[in-house]
């Protein structure tokens, strides 16, 4: 038995799993807001080139019946998209010109 | 050079001459006294959208809903005969809030065969009839058979559940919605059961936020990043034009051509847009809904992208060409605060790739929605400062003009009725 959280093919992403395998948007949002741009970029740069392969991997299983490793990879993909706005669009963790506004995601599909 | 033909009068605004073309006061958005009148004249008389039938999956399903602006809390339920009903969420015994979890201010949902009051254990059937009074023999002249929860007028249209707080609504829901909104009846809303819900507490009058979402004139300057990563795309001087504006009674709509990013070359896309084939106008590979979509794109504009229906007073239905829809609701909590609810509805994802396309659209909604929310404090502060008492609205802001006129008309009509009514 290994302690791997992710599928073996994505072993190089293990170092991000503990931080970014998060099941809900509020958790992913909070993690983005408490991260530095250097941390967000490092995660994005490491994962984005393999994102297409990761989606294909998750697509081998039914959406509601993924093995735990694939489910965590799927969560990591959700986090990648959350982080992508900071890296690709705003160049900072927070939304540009959002003032003191806050929007909470109170319901989302599961799985 | 205009890209879209305007009506024969030359402008959309002048096509509806009752709107005028002068400066517009926003005193209706800063006045506590006006807010009090608005609660009575509008929120206690209009049909209000409180939820979708898909939230009531089977007989016995219920959800609660807070309408703080009219100090009303609701139970909406599908009773054991499948009838959708709404009640005040108040126990007949001593007025305790009947259904709540967490705190009495939180909304809840679930499934029940009967409603039980936490306080003294009174029970009610899902039709509202009282079925059990604890220690009934201790009461005086108790006629349990006559005790009921207080019902509200409740009706559904196209799967949207509406309530009306009036003792006797002046129009049925279908009469109220009129032909323009009513034409959407056959749109396949019921297939779009995968839902993302968002909530925000904003420091502005409810109409100030609604105003932001019934004009697209603000999009190029405020949401400069939205069109893409390149300098050509990020042009704050880009000139927006709505393709078609239409008014129908208190309701209004605009059709736009959208961005159609699925036709764009990759260099004009953010990498995650290309990865997920999704973005601000939704998943590019939407479901096949068939060729005819009732009610949408009423003027048959070419390259149709989005319809934005503003259903008076506080519901917006956005229907996207790629086969998904969004609702916005603005619930006043005081003259200068409101709760915003945004709900995204998709045909359920069949696999991980489709779910990630939905997720990216939902992330995108929040990112740009935060920019809209972020400006609200500043708009409300600016209006309350009183430096200007009337404001300029252009032809692309015709729906803002119509909205405030309609609000004023309803408040005036109510005042006239009150003045004419015999004293009670």
pLDDT, tens digit, 9 for 90 and up, residues A49-88? 999 999 999 999 999 999 999 999 999 999 999 999 999 9
pTM of the model: 0.96
Burial of B116 (0-12, 13-18, 19+ CB in 10 A): middle
First CA to last CA distance, chain A:
26
Q: Which residue has the tokens 């979890």?
A: B101
Cβ neighbours of residue B4 closer than 8 Å, sequence gap 6 or more: B241, B242, B243, B244, B301
For residue B325, the number of C-alpha atoms closer than 13 Å in the C-beta half-sphere is 23
**Assigned CATH class of B48-164:** mainly beta
> Residue B18 in 3-state DSSP?
helix
Cβ neighbours of residue A103 closer than 8 Å, sequence gap 6 or more: B198, B199, B200, B340, B342, B366, B369, B370, B373
Q: Which chain A residue has its CA at the smallest distance from B379's CA?
A: A99
Residue-level pLDDT, tens digit, chain B, 424 residues: 578 899 999 999 999 999 999 999 999 999 999 999 999 999 999 999 999 999 999 999 999 999 988 999 999 999 999 999 999 999 999 999 999 999 999 999 999 999 999 999 999 999 999 999 999 999 999 999 999 999 999 999 999 999 999 999 999 999 999 999 999 999 999 999 999 999 999 999 999 999 999 998 888 888 888 888 887 777 777 788 899 999 999 999 999 987 788 888 888 899 999 999 999 999 999 898 987 899 999 999 988 999 999 999 999 999 999 999 999 999 999 999 999 999 999 999 999 999 999 999 999 999 999 999 999 989 999 999 999 999 999 999 999 999 999 999 999 999 999 999 876 5
Instruction: Kindly list the residues from chain B whose CB atom is less than 8 angstroms away from the CB atom of residue A74.
Output: 352
- The residues pairing with A107 across neighbouring beta strands, listed in sequence order, are B197
Selection from B299, B240, B247 nearest residue B19 by Cα: B247
DSSP B142-200: --GGG-B--EEEEEEETTEEEEE-SSS-SS-HHHHHHHHHHGGGGS-GGG--EEEEEEE
User: Domain locations in chain B?
Assistant: 12-44+173-420, 48-164
Of A89, A99, A104, the CB nearest to B377: A99
B198 and A104: CB-CB below 8 Å?
A: yes
For residue B154, CA distances in Å to B57, B75, B85, B164, B249 come to 17, 11, 6, 6, 21
- pLDDT tens digit sequence for B83-142: 999 999 999 999 999 999 999 999 999 999 999 999 999 999 999 999 999 999 999 999
**Mutation for testing the B interface, residue in A56, A61, A85, A86 having most B CBs under 10 Å:** A85
Which CATH fold topology does B12-44+173-420 show? Naphthalene 1,2-dioxygenase Alpha Subunit; Chain A, domain 1 (3.90.380)
In the predicted model, what is the mean pLDDT of chain B? 94
**Mutation for testing the B interface, residue in A24, A61, A95, A110 having most B CBs under 10 Å:** A95
């Amino acid at each position: 038995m290994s302690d791997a959280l992710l599928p073996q093919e994505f072993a190089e992403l293990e170092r991000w799993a503990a931080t970014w395998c998060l099941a809900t948007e509020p958790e992913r949002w909070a993690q983005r807001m408490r991260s530095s741009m250097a941390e967000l970029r490092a995660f994005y740069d490491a994962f984005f080139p393999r994102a297409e392969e990761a989606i294909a991997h998750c697509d081998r299983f039914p959406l509601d019946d993924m093995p735990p490793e694939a489910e965590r990879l799927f969560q990591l993909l959700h986090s990648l998209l959350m982080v992508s706005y900071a890296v690709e669009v705003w160049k900072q963790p927070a939304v540009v010109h959002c003032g003191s506004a806050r929007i909470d995601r109170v319901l989302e599909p599961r799985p | 050079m205009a890209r879209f033909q305007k009506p024969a009068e030359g402008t959309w605004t002048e096509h509806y001459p009752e709107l005028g073309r002068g400066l517009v006061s926003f005193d209706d958005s800063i006045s506590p006294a006006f807010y009090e009148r608005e609660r009575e004249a509008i929120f206690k008389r209009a049909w209000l959208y409180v939820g979708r039938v898909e939230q009531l999956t089977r007989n016995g399903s219920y959800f609660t809903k807070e309408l703080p602006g009219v100090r009303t809390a609701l139970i909406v339920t599908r009773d054991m005969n499948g009838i959708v009903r709404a009640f005040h969420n108040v126990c007949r015994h001593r007025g305790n809030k009947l259904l709540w979890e967490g705190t009495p201010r939180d909304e809840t949902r679930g499934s029940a065969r009967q409603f039980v009051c936490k306080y003294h254990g009174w029970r009610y059937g899902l039709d509202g009839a009282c079925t059990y009074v604890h220690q009934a023999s201790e009461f005086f002249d108790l006629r349990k058979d006559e005790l009921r929860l207080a019902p509200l007028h409740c009706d559904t249209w196209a799967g949207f559940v509406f309530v009306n707080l009036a003792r006797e609504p002046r129009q049925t829901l279908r009469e109220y919605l009129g032909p323009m909104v009513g034409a959407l009846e056959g749109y396949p809303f019921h297939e779009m059961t995968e839902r993302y819900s968002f909530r925000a507490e904003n420091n502005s009058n409810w109409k100030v936020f609604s105003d932001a979402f019934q004009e697209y004139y603000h999009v190029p300057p405020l949401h400069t990043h939205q069109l893409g990563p390149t300098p050509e795309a990020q042009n704050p001087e880009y000139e927006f034009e709505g393709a078609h504006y239409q008014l129908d009674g208190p309701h209004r709509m605009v059709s736009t051509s959208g961005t159609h990013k699925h036709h764009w070359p990759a260099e004009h896309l953010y990498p995650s847009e290309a990865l997920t084939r999704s973005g601000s106008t939704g998943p590019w590979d939407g479901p096949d809904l068939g060729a005819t979509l009732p009610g949408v794109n009423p003027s048959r504009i070419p390259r149709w992208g989005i319809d934005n229906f503003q259903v008076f007073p506080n519901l917006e239905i956005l229907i996207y060409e790629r086969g998904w829809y969004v609702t916005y609701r603005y619930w006043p909590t005081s003259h200068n605060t409101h709760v915003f609810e945004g709900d995204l509805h998709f045909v359920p994802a069949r696999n991980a790739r489709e779910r990630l396309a939905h997720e990216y659209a939902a992330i995108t909604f929040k990112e740009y929605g935060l920019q809209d929310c972020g400006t609200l404090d500043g708009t409300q502060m600016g209006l309350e400062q009183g430096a200007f008492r009337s404001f300029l609205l252009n032809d692309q802001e015709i729906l803002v003009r119509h909205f405030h006129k309609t609000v004023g008309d309803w408040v005036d009509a109510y005042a006239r009725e009150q003045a004419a009514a015999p004293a009670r």
